Homo-oligomer: A and B are copies of this chain.
Protein backbone atom coordinates (compact mmCIF):
# COMPACT_ATOMS: atom_id res chain seq x y z
CA UNK A 1 0.00 0.00 0.00
CA UNK A 2 1.32 3.42 -0.84
CA UNK A 3 0.74 6.11 1.72
CA UNK A 4 -0.58 9.63 1.46
CA UNK A 5 2.24 11.92 0.47
CA UNK A 6 2.52 13.81 3.73
CA UNK A 7 6.08 13.08 4.68
CA UNK A 8 6.80 14.62 8.02
CA UNK A 9 5.17 16.35 10.90
CA UNK A 10 6.28 19.92 11.34
CA UNK A 11 6.57 21.40 14.81
CA UNK A 12 5.18 24.88 15.30
CA UNK A 13 6.71 28.18 16.34
CA UNK A 14 4.49 28.15 19.42
CA UNK A 15 1.28 29.95 20.40
CA UNK A 16 1.50 33.75 20.45
CA UNK A 17 4.41 33.98 18.02
CA UNK A 18 3.94 36.14 14.96
CA UNK A 19 3.77 34.79 11.40
CA UNK A 20 5.81 36.81 8.88
CA UNK A 21 4.05 37.21 5.55
CA UNK A 22 5.43 38.23 2.16
CA UNK A 23 2.77 39.54 -0.20
CA UNK A 24 3.69 39.17 -3.88
CA UNK A 25 1.59 41.52 -5.99
CA UNK A 26 -0.51 44.53 -5.05
CA UNK A 27 -3.26 44.63 -7.65
CA UNK A 28 -6.96 44.47 -6.80
CA UNK A 29 -6.66 41.24 -4.82
CA UNK A 30 -3.34 42.08 -3.17
CA UNK A 31 -4.60 45.44 -1.97
CA UNK A 32 -7.71 43.83 -0.46
CA UNK A 33 -5.67 41.12 1.25
CA UNK A 34 -3.41 43.78 2.77
CA UNK A 35 -6.31 45.99 3.87
CA UNK A 36 -8.32 43.16 5.45
CA UNK A 37 -5.30 41.70 7.26
CA UNK A 38 -4.75 45.11 8.85
CA UNK A 39 -8.37 46.02 9.53
CA UNK A 40 -9.16 42.67 11.11
CA UNK A 41 -5.76 42.10 12.70
CA UNK A 42 -7.25 41.20 16.05
CA UNK A 43 -9.54 38.55 14.57
CA UNK A 44 -6.67 37.04 12.57
CA UNK A 45 -4.45 36.86 15.67
CA UNK A 46 -7.14 35.05 17.63
CA UNK A 47 -7.97 32.63 14.86
CA UNK A 48 -4.34 31.83 14.07
CA UNK A 49 -2.98 31.83 17.60
CA UNK A 50 -0.53 34.65 16.91
CA UNK A 51 -0.37 37.88 14.86
CA UNK A 52 -0.18 37.73 11.05
CA UNK A 53 2.33 40.41 10.03
CA UNK A 54 2.88 41.50 6.44
CA UNK A 55 6.63 42.13 6.43
CA UNK A 56 7.14 42.83 2.75
CA UNK A 57 5.12 43.62 -0.37
CA UNK A 58 6.76 42.87 -3.73
CA UNK A 59 5.64 45.16 -6.55
CA UNK A 60 6.84 45.97 -10.04
CA UNK A 61 7.35 49.66 -9.29
CA UNK A 62 8.13 50.37 -5.67
CA UNK A 63 8.03 54.13 -6.19
CA UNK A 64 4.34 54.15 -7.11
CA UNK A 65 2.20 55.55 -4.27
CA UNK A 66 0.19 52.83 -2.47
CA UNK A 67 -2.03 54.52 0.12
CA UNK A 68 -1.95 52.75 3.47
CA UNK A 69 1.22 50.78 2.75
CA UNK A 70 4.34 51.93 4.67
CA UNK A 71 7.10 52.65 2.12
CA UNK A 72 9.58 50.41 3.95
CA UNK A 73 7.41 47.34 3.22
CA UNK A 74 7.64 47.83 -0.55
CA UNK A 75 10.31 46.08 -2.58
CA UNK A 76 10.87 45.30 -6.22
CA UNK A 77 13.09 42.34 -5.37
CA UNK A 78 10.52 39.59 -4.86
CA UNK A 79 13.13 36.84 -4.94
CA UNK A 80 15.11 38.33 -2.07
CA UNK A 81 11.87 38.88 -0.12
CA UNK A 82 10.72 35.25 -0.31
CA UNK A 83 14.11 34.05 0.98
CA UNK A 84 14.21 36.38 3.99
CA UNK A 85 14.53 34.69 7.39
CA UNK A 86 11.65 36.67 8.89
CA UNK A 87 9.21 35.41 6.24
CA UNK A 88 7.23 32.25 7.09
CA UNK A 89 4.45 32.45 4.50
CA UNK A 90 4.42 33.70 0.91
CA UNK A 91 1.12 34.90 -0.60
CA UNK A 92 1.17 35.12 -4.40
CA UNK A 93 -1.42 37.24 -6.25
CA UNK A 94 0.63 38.31 -9.27
CA UNK A 95 -0.75 36.07 -12.01
CA UNK A 96 1.13 34.74 -15.02
CA UNK A 97 3.03 31.46 -14.98
CA UNK A 98 6.80 31.51 -15.35
CA UNK A 99 7.70 34.34 -13.00
CA UNK A 100 5.47 33.28 -10.05
CA UNK A 101 6.50 29.65 -10.64
CA UNK A 102 10.11 30.59 -10.11
CA UNK A 103 9.27 32.67 -7.03
CA UNK A 104 7.08 30.03 -5.40
CA UNK A 105 9.58 27.22 -6.02
CA UNK A 106 12.23 29.44 -4.45
CA UNK A 107 9.94 30.11 -1.47
CA UNK A 108 9.00 26.44 -0.96
CA UNK A 109 12.60 25.30 -1.27
CA UNK A 110 13.51 27.91 1.36
CA UNK A 111 10.94 26.31 3.72
CA UNK A 112 8.19 28.90 3.42
CA UNK A 113 4.55 27.88 3.16
CA UNK A 114 2.72 29.22 0.11
CA UNK A 115 -0.78 30.54 -0.57
CA UNK A 116 -1.54 31.27 -4.23
CA UNK A 117 -4.60 32.42 -6.16
CA UNK A 118 -2.96 31.51 -9.47
CA UNK A 119 -5.09 28.99 -11.37
CA UNK A 120 -2.94 28.97 -14.50
CA UNK A 121 0.17 28.19 -12.48
CA UNK A 122 -1.50 25.46 -10.42
CA UNK A 123 -3.14 23.90 -13.49
CA UNK A 124 0.21 23.75 -15.27
CA UNK A 125 2.72 23.00 -12.50
CA UNK A 126 0.93 21.53 -9.46
CA UNK A 127 3.18 18.46 -9.39
CA UNK A 128 6.39 20.43 -9.20
CA UNK A 129 5.02 22.80 -6.56
CA UNK A 130 3.58 19.95 -4.47
CA UNK A 131 6.85 18.02 -4.57
CA UNK A 132 8.77 21.04 -3.33
CA UNK A 133 6.22 21.59 -0.55
CA UNK A 134 6.46 17.92 0.49
CA UNK A 135 10.26 17.96 0.48
CA UNK A 136 10.31 21.07 2.67
CA UNK A 137 7.44 19.86 4.90
CA UNK A 138 5.45 23.06 4.32
CA UNK A 139 1.95 23.86 3.07
CA UNK A 140 0.73 24.75 -0.41
CA UNK A 141 -2.78 26.26 -0.45
CA UNK A 142 -4.73 27.51 -3.50
CA UNK A 143 -8.42 27.86 -2.59
CA UNK A 144 -8.68 31.13 -4.55
CA UNK A 145 -7.53 29.47 -7.78
CA UNK A 146 -11.01 28.04 -8.41
CA UNK A 147 -14.20 30.08 -8.11
CA UNK A 148 -12.74 32.61 -5.64
CA UNK A 149 -14.78 32.66 -2.42
CA UNK A 150 -16.62 29.40 -3.15
CA UNK A 151 -14.61 26.97 -1.02
CA UNK A 152 -14.52 24.15 -3.52
CA UNK A 153 -10.87 23.21 -3.05
CA UNK A 154 -11.32 22.69 0.70
CA UNK A 155 -14.57 20.88 0.08
CA UNK A 156 -12.99 18.37 -2.33
CA UNK A 157 -9.79 17.97 -0.34
CA UNK A 158 -11.35 17.66 3.11
CA UNK A 159 -15.13 17.56 3.41
CA UNK A 160 -15.69 15.00 0.65
CA UNK A 161 -12.49 13.06 1.43
CA UNK A 162 -14.62 10.16 2.72
CA UNK A 163 -16.78 9.99 -0.40
CA UNK A 164 -16.30 8.92 -4.04
CA UNK A 165 -16.87 11.76 -6.51
CA UNK A 166 -18.66 10.78 -9.70
CA UNK A 167 -18.88 14.06 -11.56
CA UNK A 168 -18.17 17.74 -11.04
CA UNK A 169 -20.01 20.24 -13.27
CA UNK A 170 -19.16 23.85 -12.72
CA UNK A 171 -19.93 27.33 -13.92
CA UNK A 172 -16.44 28.56 -13.10
CA UNK A 173 -16.07 31.62 -15.34
CA UNK A 174 -18.08 34.71 -14.46
CA UNK A 175 -17.43 36.56 -17.71
CA UNK A 176 -18.95 33.89 -19.93
CA UNK A 177 -21.86 33.32 -17.57
CA UNK A 178 -22.59 37.04 -17.63
CA UNK A 179 -22.55 37.04 -21.45
CA UNK A 180 -24.73 33.93 -21.83
CA UNK A 181 -27.16 35.18 -19.18
CA UNK A 182 -27.41 38.58 -20.90
CA UNK A 183 -28.05 36.88 -24.25
CA UNK A 184 -30.80 34.79 -22.65
CA UNK A 185 -32.52 37.60 -20.75
CA UNK A 186 -32.24 40.38 -23.37
CA UNK A 187 -32.02 38.45 -26.66
CA UNK A 188 -28.75 40.24 -27.41
CA UNK A 189 -26.21 38.88 -29.88
CA UNK A 190 -22.93 37.45 -28.60
CA UNK A 191 -21.08 40.55 -29.79
CA UNK A 192 -23.44 42.97 -28.03
CA UNK A 193 -23.43 40.98 -24.80
CA UNK A 194 -19.64 40.84 -24.84
CA UNK A 195 -19.48 44.61 -25.42
CA UNK A 196 -21.80 45.14 -22.44
CA UNK A 197 -19.67 42.81 -20.29
CA UNK A 198 -16.58 44.80 -21.26
CA UNK A 199 -18.29 48.11 -20.51
CA UNK A 200 -19.32 46.89 -17.04
CA UNK A 201 -15.87 45.50 -16.26
CA UNK A 202 -16.91 41.82 -16.38
CA UNK A 203 -14.74 41.17 -19.43
CA UNK A 204 -11.12 42.17 -19.98
CA UNK A 205 -9.92 44.23 -22.94
CA UNK A 206 -8.67 40.97 -24.48
CA UNK A 207 -11.41 38.51 -23.51
CA UNK A 208 -9.86 35.48 -25.25
CA UNK A 209 -8.90 33.53 -22.11
CA UNK A 210 -12.44 33.82 -20.80
CA UNK A 211 -14.61 33.43 -23.90
CA UNK A 212 -12.53 30.63 -25.44
CA UNK A 213 -12.76 28.66 -22.19
CA UNK A 214 -9.05 28.66 -21.27
CA UNK A 215 -9.69 30.11 -17.83
CA UNK A 216 -12.37 27.52 -17.16
CA UNK A 217 -10.06 24.78 -18.46
CA UNK A 218 -7.42 25.64 -15.83
CA UNK A 219 -10.07 25.33 -13.16
CA UNK A 220 -11.35 22.06 -14.65
CA UNK A 221 -7.83 20.64 -14.42
CA UNK A 222 -7.59 21.59 -10.74
CA UNK A 223 -11.05 20.24 -9.90
CA UNK A 224 -10.44 16.95 -11.68
CA UNK A 225 -7.07 16.51 -9.96
CA UNK A 226 -8.62 17.04 -6.53
CA UNK A 227 -11.80 15.10 -7.12
CA UNK A 228 -10.20 12.03 -8.66
CA UNK A 229 -6.79 11.95 -6.91
CA UNK A 230 -5.13 12.01 -10.31
CA UNK A 231 -2.92 14.64 -11.90
CA UNK A 232 -4.87 16.43 -14.62
CA UNK A 233 -3.20 19.43 -16.26
CA UNK A 234 -4.47 22.20 -18.49
CA UNK A 235 -3.29 20.35 -21.60
CA UNK A 236 -5.46 17.35 -20.69
CA UNK A 237 -8.67 19.41 -20.82
CA UNK A 238 -10.79 19.44 -23.99
CA UNK A 239 -11.80 23.07 -24.41
CA UNK A 240 -14.44 24.87 -26.47
CA UNK A 241 -15.54 28.46 -25.82
CA UNK A 242 -18.74 30.42 -26.34
CA UNK A 243 -17.81 32.70 -29.25
CA UNK A 244 -19.81 30.57 -31.73
CA UNK A 245 -23.04 30.74 -29.71
CA UNK A 246 -25.69 32.83 -31.45
CA UNK A 247 -28.85 34.56 -30.25
CA UNK A 248 -30.70 31.93 -32.30
CA UNK A 249 -29.06 29.09 -30.38
CA UNK A 250 -30.13 30.64 -27.09
CA UNK A 251 -33.68 31.13 -28.34
CA UNK A 252 -33.95 27.55 -29.60
CA UNK A 253 -32.52 26.25 -26.32
CA UNK A 254 -34.99 28.25 -24.27
CA UNK A 255 -37.88 27.02 -26.34
CA UNK A 256 -36.80 23.44 -25.71
CA UNK A 257 -36.51 24.05 -21.96
CA UNK A 258 -32.77 24.61 -21.64
CA UNK A 259 -30.31 27.36 -20.72
CA UNK A 260 -26.90 27.41 -22.37
CA UNK A 261 -24.05 27.49 -19.84
CA UNK A 262 -20.31 27.17 -20.29
CA UNK A 263 -19.59 24.18 -18.05
CA UNK A 264 -16.38 22.67 -16.80
CA UNK A 265 -17.20 18.97 -16.52
CA UNK A 266 -14.94 16.45 -14.79
CA UNK A 267 -15.91 12.82 -14.59
CA UNK A 268 -14.68 9.27 -14.26
CA UNK A 269 -15.38 6.96 -17.19
CA UNK A 270 -15.61 3.22 -16.67
CA UNK A 271 -15.25 1.03 -19.75
CA UNK A 272 -16.74 -2.43 -20.37
CA UNK A 273 -13.80 -4.11 -18.64
CA UNK A 274 -14.20 -1.89 -15.56
CA UNK A 275 -11.13 0.18 -16.34
CA UNK A 276 -11.44 3.75 -15.08
CA UNK A 277 -10.20 6.92 -16.74
CA UNK A 278 -10.67 10.64 -16.14
CA UNK A 279 -12.12 13.21 -18.49
CA UNK A 280 -12.12 16.97 -17.98
CA UNK A 281 -13.69 19.24 -20.55
CA UNK A 282 -15.10 22.71 -21.05
CA UNK A 283 -17.83 23.44 -23.57
CA UNK A 284 -21.14 25.25 -23.97
CA UNK A 285 -23.80 22.95 -22.57
CA UNK A 286 -27.59 22.80 -22.63
CA UNK A 287 -28.72 22.63 -19.03
CA UNK A 288 -32.38 21.75 -18.28
CA UNK A 289 -34.15 24.77 -16.79
CA UNK A 290 -35.06 22.88 -13.63
CA UNK A 291 -31.43 21.99 -12.89
CA UNK A 292 -29.89 24.17 -10.15
CA UNK A 293 -27.06 25.21 -12.50
CA UNK A 294 -29.56 26.74 -14.95
CA UNK A 295 -30.60 29.43 -12.47
CA UNK A 296 -27.07 30.69 -11.85
CA UNK A 297 -27.32 34.18 -13.29
CA UNK A 298 -25.05 37.16 -14.02
CA UNK A 299 -21.40 36.62 -13.18
CA UNK A 300 -22.05 34.15 -10.37
CA UNK A 301 -20.23 30.84 -10.24
CA UNK A 302 -21.51 27.48 -9.03
CA UNK A 303 -20.07 24.02 -8.65
CA UNK A 304 -22.39 21.02 -8.81
CA UNK A 305 -20.91 17.84 -7.37
CA UNK A 306 -22.32 14.32 -7.62
CA UNK A 307 -20.87 11.87 -5.11
CA UNK A 308 -21.62 8.27 -4.17
CA UNK A 309 -22.84 8.90 -0.62
CA UNK A 310 -23.51 12.65 -0.49
CA UNK A 311 -25.68 12.65 -3.61
CA UNK A 312 -25.90 16.04 -5.33
CA UNK A 313 -24.40 19.17 -3.77
CA UNK A 314 -24.16 22.69 -5.14
CA UNK A 315 -21.95 25.56 -4.05
CA UNK A 316 -22.82 29.01 -5.29
CA UNK A 317 -21.30 32.48 -4.96
CA UNK A 318 -19.00 35.15 -6.33
CA UNK A 319 -16.40 33.48 -8.48
CA UNK A 320 -14.21 36.51 -9.10
CA UNK A 321 -13.42 40.02 -7.94
CA UNK A 322 -11.00 41.52 -5.46
CA UNK A 323 -13.00 40.95 -2.30
CA UNK A 324 -14.24 37.39 -2.89
CA UNK A 325 -10.78 36.33 -4.05
CA UNK A 326 -9.26 37.98 -0.97
CA UNK A 327 -11.70 36.03 1.22
CA UNK A 328 -10.40 32.74 -0.19
CA UNK A 329 -6.77 33.84 0.04
CA UNK A 330 -7.24 34.90 3.67
CA UNK A 331 -8.94 31.63 4.63
CA UNK A 332 -5.79 29.93 3.33
CA UNK A 333 -3.60 32.43 5.18
CA UNK A 334 -5.32 31.46 8.45
CA UNK A 335 -4.93 27.73 7.70
CA UNK A 336 -1.27 27.96 6.72
CA UNK A 337 -0.48 30.34 9.61
CA UNK A 338 -2.16 28.07 12.15
CA UNK A 339 0.11 25.25 11.02
CA UNK A 340 3.14 27.53 11.23
CA UNK A 341 2.25 28.46 14.82
CA UNK A 342 0.93 25.12 16.08
CA UNK A 343 2.70 22.63 13.84
CA UNK A 344 1.22 20.06 11.51
CA UNK A 345 0.44 20.24 7.82
CA UNK A 346 -2.72 20.46 5.71
CA UNK A 347 -3.53 17.50 3.45
CA UNK A 348 -1.26 17.97 0.46
CA UNK A 349 -1.58 16.97 -3.17
CA UNK A 350 -2.55 13.32 -3.36
CA UNK A 351 -2.65 11.65 -6.76
CA UNK A 352 -2.63 8.06 -5.54
CA UNK A 353 -5.31 6.91 -7.98
CA UNK A 354 -3.11 7.71 -11.03
CA UNK A 355 -6.03 7.21 -13.41
CA UNK A 356 -5.26 7.59 -17.12
CA UNK A 357 -6.72 10.56 -19.00
CA UNK A 358 -9.57 9.34 -21.21
CA UNK A 359 -9.40 9.70 -24.96
CA UNK A 360 -11.92 12.45 -25.70
CA UNK A 361 -13.57 10.30 -28.36
CA UNK A 362 -14.55 7.82 -25.64
CA UNK A 363 -16.51 10.38 -23.60
CA UNK A 364 -20.27 9.78 -23.54
CA UNK A 365 -22.35 12.85 -24.36
CA UNK A 366 -25.67 13.80 -25.88
CA UNK A 367 -25.80 16.19 -28.84
CA UNK A 368 -28.40 18.82 -29.70
CA UNK A 369 -28.07 19.41 -33.45
CA UNK A 370 -29.87 22.28 -35.15
CA UNK A 371 -29.85 22.11 -38.95
CA UNK A 372 -31.54 23.45 -42.03
CA UNK A 373 -32.81 20.68 -44.30
CA UNK A 374 -34.62 20.37 -47.59
CA UNK A 375 -38.41 20.44 -47.19
CA UNK A 376 -39.22 17.24 -48.99
CA UNK A 377 -40.17 13.65 -48.33
CA UNK A 378 -37.43 11.24 -47.35
CA UNK A 379 -35.21 13.77 -45.63
CA UNK A 380 -35.83 12.49 -42.14
CA UNK A 381 -35.20 8.92 -43.29
CA UNK A 382 -31.84 9.87 -44.82
CA UNK A 383 -30.78 11.73 -41.70
CA UNK A 384 -31.95 9.03 -39.31
CA UNK A 385 -29.93 6.52 -41.27
CA UNK A 386 -26.72 8.46 -40.56
CA UNK A 387 -27.34 8.15 -36.83
CA UNK A 388 -28.47 4.53 -37.00
CA UNK A 389 -25.39 3.43 -38.94
CA UNK A 390 -23.22 4.55 -36.05
CA UNK A 391 -25.45 3.02 -33.39
CA UNK A 392 -26.65 6.35 -32.04
CA UNK A 393 -30.30 6.54 -31.08
CA UNK A 394 -32.37 9.72 -31.10
CA UNK A 395 -34.16 11.10 -28.07
CA UNK A 396 -36.23 13.78 -29.83
CA UNK A 397 -36.66 15.09 -33.36
CA UNK A 398 -38.44 18.38 -33.99
CA UNK A 399 -39.15 19.75 -37.43
CA UNK A 400 -40.28 23.31 -38.20
CA UNK A 401 -41.30 23.91 -41.80
CA UNK A 402 -40.71 27.17 -43.65
CA UNK A 403 -41.01 28.05 -47.34
CA UNK A 404 -39.07 25.42 -49.21
CA UNK A 405 -36.73 24.63 -46.35
CA UNK A 406 -37.23 23.14 -42.92
CA UNK A 407 -35.43 23.34 -39.64
CA UNK A 408 -34.69 20.04 -37.98
CA UNK A 409 -33.62 19.84 -34.37
CA UNK A 410 -32.33 16.49 -33.19
CA UNK A 411 -31.38 15.49 -29.68
CA UNK A 412 -29.48 12.23 -29.35
CA UNK A 413 -29.25 9.75 -26.55
CA UNK A 414 -25.90 9.40 -24.85
CA UNK A 415 -23.23 8.18 -27.27
CA UNK A 416 -19.48 8.22 -27.79
CA UNK A 417 -18.12 11.63 -28.70
CA UNK A 418 -16.20 10.08 -31.62
CA UNK A 419 -19.38 8.64 -33.15
CA UNK A 420 -21.21 11.94 -32.75
CA UNK A 421 -18.39 13.88 -34.38
CA UNK A 422 -18.44 11.51 -37.32
CA UNK A 423 -22.20 11.91 -37.62
CA UNK A 424 -21.98 15.70 -37.71
CA UNK A 425 -19.31 15.54 -40.43
CA UNK A 426 -21.45 13.11 -42.42
CA UNK A 427 -24.60 15.24 -42.02
CA UNK A 428 -22.72 18.20 -43.50
CA UNK A 429 -22.07 16.12 -46.61
CA UNK A 430 -25.69 15.06 -47.15
CA UNK A 431 -27.58 16.70 -50.01
CA UNK A 432 -30.65 16.80 -47.78
CA UNK A 433 -28.87 18.98 -45.19
CA UNK A 434 -28.42 22.59 -46.30
CA UNK A 435 -26.59 23.75 -43.17
CA UNK A 436 -25.72 22.52 -39.70
CA UNK A 437 -26.43 25.63 -37.64
CA UNK A 438 -25.21 24.45 -34.29
CA UNK A 439 -24.08 21.43 -32.35
CA UNK A 440 -24.31 21.80 -28.59
CA UNK A 441 -23.88 19.10 -25.96
CA UNK A 442 -26.45 18.42 -23.24
CA UNK A 443 -25.96 18.09 -19.52
CA UNK A 444 -27.57 14.81 -18.62
Interface residues of A (CB under 8 A from B): 1-4, 6-7, 9, 11-12, 15-16, 32, 36, 40, 42-51, 143, 148-151, 154-155, 158-164, 229, 292, 295, 307-318, 321, 323-324, 326-335, 338-339, 341-345, 347, 350, 352-353
Given contacts A3-B15, A6-B342, A149-B309, 14 further A-B contacts (CB under 8 A): A1-B45, A1-B46, A3-B16, A9-B344, A36-B308, A151-B154, A154-B159, A158-B334, A162-B326, A162-B327, A163-B327, A309-B323, A311-B324, A313-B315
Most B CB within 10 A of own CB, among A15, A46, A162: A162
Main secondary structure of the interface of A (DSSP, over half): mixed
A141–chain B nearest beta-carbon distance, Å = 10
Q: A3-B49, A46-B352 are in contact. Are A309 and B324 (CB under 8 A)?
A: yes
Within the assembled complex, what's the spacing in Å between the Cα atoms of A2 and B50?
9
Q: Which residue of B lies closest to A5 (CB)?
A: B49
Do residues A158 and B162 form an inter-chain contact, with CB atoms below 8 A? no
Q: How many copies does the complex hold?
A: 2
Q: Which residue of B lies closest to A33 (CB)?
A: B162
Residues of B within 8 A of A46 (CB): 1-4, 229, 350, 352-353
Q: A162-B44, A316-B316, A344-B9 are in contact. Are A309 and B326 (CB under 8 A)?
A: yes
A to B CB contacts below 8 Å, 26 in the list: A1-B46, A3-B46, A4-B49, A4-B341, A6-B15, A6-B49, A9-B343, A40-B164, A47-B352, A148-B310, A149-B307, A151-B159, A154-B155, A154-B159, A159-B328, A161-B330, A161-B334, A161-B335, A162-B330, A162-B332, A163-B331, A309-B324, A310-B318, A312-B317, A312-B318, A314-B315
Instruction: Give the contacting residue for A160; candidates B48, B162, B331; CB below 8 A.
Output: B331
Within the assembled complex, what's the spacing in Å between the Cα atoms of A333 and B40?
33
Residues of B within 8 A of A159 (CB): 143, 151, 154-155, 328, 331
Residues of B within 8 A of A318 (CB): 310-313
Instruction: Give the contacting residue for A151; candidates B48, B155, B292, B309; CB below 8 A.
Output: B155
Instruction: Give the contacting residue for A314; candidates B317, B328, B342; CB below 8 A.
Output: B317
Do residues B316 and A292 form an inter-chain contact, with CB atoms below 8 A? yes
Within the assembled complex, what's the spacing in Å between the Cα atoms of A311 and B137?
34
Do residues A347 and B352 form an inter-chain contact, with CB atoms below 8 A? no
Q: Which residue of B lies closest to A17 (CB)?
A: B3
Instruction: Give the contacting residue for A32; candidates B47, B160, B309; CB below 8 A.
Output: B309
Residues of B within 8 A of A158 (CB): 151, 154, 158, 331, 334-335
